[in-house]
Each structure stands twice: as C-alpha cells, then as structure tokens.
Structure 1
Amino acid sequence: MEKRILGRTNLEISAIGFGGIPIQKVDKETAIELIKKAKEEGINFIDTAKIYGRSEELIGYGVEETGRENWILATKSPERDYDAMKKDIERSLELMKTDYIDLYQLHNVRTDDQYDKVMSEDGALKALKEAQKQGKIKHIGITSHDLGIIERALDDDIFSTIQFPYNPVETQASEIFDRAHKMDVGVIVMKPVAGGAIRNVDLSLRFILENSNISVVIPGMNEVKHIESNAAIGNNYKPLTDEERDIILGEAKELGTEFCRRCGYCAPCPQGIDIPVQFIVEGYYTRYDLKDWAKERYATFEHKANECVECGICETRCPYDLPIRKMLKRVHKNLG
C-alpha cells in the first residue's frame, strides 16, 4: 500500500483510508470482517464520526479484534461548545475501545459564526486541546464544505489536518490543498466519488491520488469487495492514461448540469434553508442507500426544502447555474 505522511502529525498512513459512513448499515460480525479485511489489504487509517450512526461502535469492535496498534483512528464531532465536545471525546474513546484517538476533528464547520464559537473561550477547541494535553487525543483537525472556513483555519495555523471534498467534479480546493501542503498540514479527501454520483470509482480515486498535496482519500466501504477494489488502487497505483483521463473528466462534465458542489455561494437563503446540506443528505438517500438515516436527518432540520418560496435569489448566485428551486422540490419529494 502506498503510504503518505499526514502533514505535521508525522503519521505514516495508507493513501487509501477507510471511510466510516456506510459501515453503520452492517452488523457487528460483518463490521469485524470488514476491518480485518482492510488490515489485510494494507489500510491503516480509519475516519468516522459521532453522527454516523453506530459507526464508531462497530469500528471499535473491529479495532479491538485486529489490534489497536495497527490503526490510525480519526473521528469527529459536530459540537461547538466546550462541555458538549468534552462529552463527545469520552464517548468516542468508549465506543472505539481505545485509550487515545490519533486525530479528533471539528466536524463540518459551516459558517463564520460556528467557527468563532469553536474558537471562543468556552468553545469546542478548548476541550480538544485539554484532551490533547491529557493524551486522550494526539492531533486536532477540522472538516468543512466551505472553502472560506478552511482558509480561516489555515490562517490561524492551529490544526494539524483539514478535510474537504475533492474529486473530478469538485476540484475547487486545489489551491487550498497546495497551501496546506506547504504549511505541513495534512489533507484528507472526503466525497471521493461525489457522494456516489461518479460511476468510475477506480478512475476517480486514481485522479485524486495524482495530487501529491493529498495525504489520504477515504472512500466509504461496507462490503469486502469495496475494500478489495479500493485498496487495489493504493497497492498498485498507476497514473491515469490520457484515455482514462478523458473518460473521468467526461463523466464529471455530465454530472455538472444538476450537481451541487457545496460551494455555499447560494447562501444565505431568505427562508433560512441550508441549501447545500439539503442536497448532501439527499445524496445519502439516493446514492448510499441510507434512506431511513437520511430521512431522520432531514426531519431534524429547522428549515426544510419545502419551505422554498421560489424567489430564485439562490440561482442568481450559483456559479454553476443549477436549477436549485427544482432540485429542492426533488429533495422534499424524496425525504419529506
């Protein structure tokens, strides 16, 4: 397996990591089998999160079975204040059956207000730093779908890693990744097949790994065949041929007509709808076969897609000219 250094953490990790979203769909025995297989294939990096259902728990069973020393574990919490983050750290340690977590990340910081909150005197970062001093976590990272937030994080230069979407459809983070690499900040790529929209998975993963600024890519896996095919990319990496590049970029072009890149330029919605998040959750429904989970998440939203009054302001801001009003109707039809 090709290994890369995760920035200033100096951790040597597999270029292909284990994305923990879909494992929540399997039972304990299958989860253990999957983690065992990942180890056999040379994968040593696992990324999960509090909000991924039973993912932390199921991964914990697999890690316990295969040996903690074989894994670099990353998880994340969406909490923004000190007390809530402190509780989540303890919860993650317990569920993942470990005394320490290699990388604990602030999960999906979406707005400047949220960023200011986590950085405040009683913010989540304080809890993470405290746990780091206690040896409960080794390194601190941040994830977002907003380039502006990642830019602020790099400006502050306190995070060991950043995590952001990147694939043949979504390459807007290329310059940010270059900056992060020069700052010795690890780069973790999520959404490597655009939430399941990209059909040519192997070509997409190879496209991503061509970028030397990227430390690891974390495709979601809940079947042995997924682990075998994804790990094979890292175990026998080959750059794309010109013909293969044309194929994957052609597919990316096709997806471009009604595909949300989550750039956030459509915001703010006058009705308070978080438009990109509506499409993210719909992707779990349509592409990851997490229908019940997606509907449950959608039900928690304060403002849902059906609250759109079709003012069209969002569409005037979208750099990709997406028919957002029509797409929001589809979201509510699927999830409402």
Structure 2
Amino acid sequence: MNKFGSTDLNINPLGFGGIPIQRISPKQTVEVIAKAKDLGVNFIDSAQGYTDSEEKIGQAIKNHKDYWVLASKAPAKDEKSMEEAIYQSLKNFGRDYIDLYQMHLVSSEDDLKERLNPESGAIKALLKAQKNGYIGHIGITGHRPEILAKAIDIYPFVSVQAPYNFLETQSEDLLVKAANKGVATIIMKPMAGGALASPTASIKYILQKDFVTVAIPGMESVEQVVENVTAANNLEMTNEEKDGMEKDIHELQHNFCRRCEYCQPCPQGIKIHSCFIFHGYHKRYGLKDWALPRYKTLPTPASACTECGLCETKCPYELPIREMLKEVACDFEN
C-alpha cells in the first residue's frame, strides 16, 4: 500500500479509472469492481463528466461502501456550479462522503485563478463541503504540467492528477516536484487512452517510478483487472513487454497528441488538442456517442483547417497535425 500524500489514507498503487465503465452494463460493472476488490484494489476515480460512470460505480460498491477510497472531480469554476457537482456526485455514488474531490482539467493560469477565488470560485464550495464532512480532501487535475506545478505552489492540494506513461513523459518534472512536496500523484492515461498495444509494460514502467502514488487505468472487464493487477504485483518486465514498449514508442511517438497545446493558437480558431481528445475517446475508448456531442460544441470544426501548417512548426513532437485533423473531420463531420 502507498500512503496518499499528506493524508492518512493508504491505497493500492494500482487504482481503478472510471472512464470505460460508461460503455458496459451495470451488471458487468458490479462484476469488474468486485474482482478489483478481491484482488486488493481500493481506489476508484471517476468524474461528473463521465455520463453514468458515477451511478454505475455507486451501485457496484453499495454493499461495501466503506472499503473504497473514492475520488471524483468536476470542471466547475464557480462556487454554485461546484456545489451542485459535489451534491450530484454524492447522490450518484450513494455515499454521504467522498474521500477526494478534484478540480478537473485546469487549463490556464486564469482558469486556476478563477477557481481559487475565495469569494466566488469553486474552492469556496469545496472548502464548505469539506467543513461539512461531505468531502475529505481537495485535489487538482489537468493536462498542462506547468499550470499544475504553479497550482501546487499556490494552494495546498493534497493530490495532483496528470497523464504519464512511456509515451507521455512531459509531466515527469511536475510529478517529481509534487512527490517531493508530499503531494500525492495520480497517473491518468497510464495506457495513453487505450493507444498502447503493450498495456502491462506501461503499468510496470509507471509503478517503478518512486514519485508515483497510484496509476488509474480504465478497466471494463474482469480479464483486464486480472491482467493489470498481475502486472502491478510483479514489476519486472519480460522481454516481450520490453519489445512491445519499444514498438509502441516507434509507431506512436510521431502520431499521438500529448495535449501540450504548443500548437495553439490556430489562425482559424480550431482547438486542435480538443479535437484530438474527443477523437481519442471515439477511436480508443469506443465512446463516439459521448465524444461527438462534445466535439460539436467546439467553436470551429476540424474541417476549417486551411493546411497553413503553422501548428506543425510549433509541435515539439513533429506530429502530422493537418492529416490528423482530416481524420477527425472524416469521422465526426461526415
């Protein structure tokens, strides 16, 4: 078990991510979470934005509510919206207490400042809920390590959640900094959103790092739970896993968006990283019905790309962004 930052919580270093729960039945969810419990997993992370994930998890844990260290999150910026989100999460989970509630997807300094406004920001609702015993601790999540690094300097968050795997290492400095400050580190996207062909290699790669508190792969079958727990219990990589990791790196390093946003702004107003995030939920998670409506809320579609190529000159990973945007447009606009 790992100590969860400065708290008195102790958790298995392999946690349970709630995204894929959206695409399986309530009965299957019960079976998957029961197997995770049987194998010692005791940390679940979900979110307000994951459609029915919280509700399914709530049903699956109702007979052993107190066993789980439960975490959720919401992108609410103001007090009222965050208060509503916390209430809804409590209702969905069927619990009167959530161990960790996180500010979800903080994306800029202005965004952080708005949420931390003591008079009207989301932090006011979180602190009120904490004082009233509805949540235990307050954390933060995001895809931009430089913003999260500033956040843990400005406010005493107990945890920080960021993407990290052998393809996405841009958050490593942040995670080391957090661990050195006694802030728990939660690794989201440990399998690069389902892009990796060698998932057990990624689990082992991540859990070998001493700055990692818990990794939260999404799991939607009993077989995946067994595979991931087996990998977490023996971190020595096989030759097959090493070869698979090298193959993933070779095949994906120049065709996988790390959401660093260095490509922005686009002259046409396309939110490039958002296009790729939603596309990834469709292609890798099989959640097109969830991703498409959100894609349609973007101010400018991927098809608006004029192929000026400016984004590609700024991408540190040399991604073929213009071709990738064409694929997004093809899948979401036709």
> Is the 8 Å Cα contact of residues 294 and 335 (structure 1) preserved in structure 2?
no
State percent identity of aligned pairs: 45
Partner of 1:70 in structure 2?
67
For residues 58 and 175 of structure 2, what CA distance do their matches in structure 1 show? 30
Tell me if the contact between 1:167 and 1:191 (Cα under 8 Å) persists in the aligned partners.
yes
Corresponding residue number in structure 2 for 1:162: 160
Which one of 208, 211, 224 corresponds to residue 210 of structure 1?
208
User: Structure 1 residues 137, 215: CA separation in 2 closer, same or farther (over 3 Å shift)?
Assistant: same
Residue 330 (structure 1) aligned with residue 321 (structure 2): no
1:112, distance to aligned residue in structure 2 (A): 2.2
Q: Give secondary structure in 1 for the equivalent of 2:110.
A: helix
Q: Which moved more, 1:48-57 or 1:273-282?
A: 273-282
**Are residue 173 (structure 1) and residue 182 (structure 2) matched?**
no
Instruction: Give the match for residue 135 of structure 1.
Output: 133
Q: Which residue of 2 aligns with 1:82?
A: 79
TM-score by length of 1: 0.95
**Pairwise CA RMSD:** 1.5
Indicate which of 267, 283, 286 corresponds to 1:270: 267
Name the CA distance, whole Å, in 1 between partners of 2:227 and 2:242.
19
1:239 aligns with 2:236: yes
The code of the aligned residue for 1:266 comes to: C
Taking the aligned partners of 1:309 and 1:14, their CA distance within structure 2 comes to 48
1:182 maps to which residue?
180
In 2: Cα distance, 1:181 partner to 1:23 partner:
29
Contact 2:198–2:241 (CA<8 Å) still a contact in 1?
Answer: no
Deviations 1:102-153 (Å, cap 9, x if unpaired)? 0001111112221121112311111111111111100111110111211111
Q: 5+ residue gaps in structure 2?
A: none
Q: After the TM superposition, which of the residue ranges 136-145 and 325-334 deviates more from structure 2?
A: 325-334
Instruction: Map 1:9-158; keep pairs closer than 5 Å.
Output: 9-65=7-63, 67-120=64-117, 121-158=119-156
Shift of 1:243: 7.0
Q: Which deviations, in whole Å up to 9, do the C-alpha atoms of 1:211-250 show, x marking residues without a partner?
A: 011001011111111111112223x222335774454134
Q: Which moved more, 1:251-260 or 1:82-91?
A: 251-260
Q: How many residues are matched?
A: 332
1:313 matched to 2:292? The reply is: no
Consecutive aligned runs of 4 or more in structure 1 exceeding 4 Å deviation: 241-244
TM-score normalized by the length of structure 2: 0.95
- Structure-1 separation of matches of 2:329 and 2:67: 43
Q: Is the 8 A contact 1:22 1:220 kept in 2?
A: yes
The runs of 5 or more residues in structure 1 that have no matched partner are none
Alpha-carbon distance in structure 1 between the residues aligned to 2:7 and 2:299: 38
**Aligned with 1:162: secondary structure?**
strand
**Equivalents in 2 of 1:145, 1:133: separation in Å?**
29
Number of the residue aligned with 2:220: 222
CA distance in 2, matches of 1:77, 1:205: 26
Measure, in 2, the Cα distance between the counterparts of 1:39 and 1:244.
26
CA contact (8 A) 1:271 1:308 kept: yes
Q: How many angstroms apart in 1 are the aligned matches of 2:168 and 2:107?
A: 17
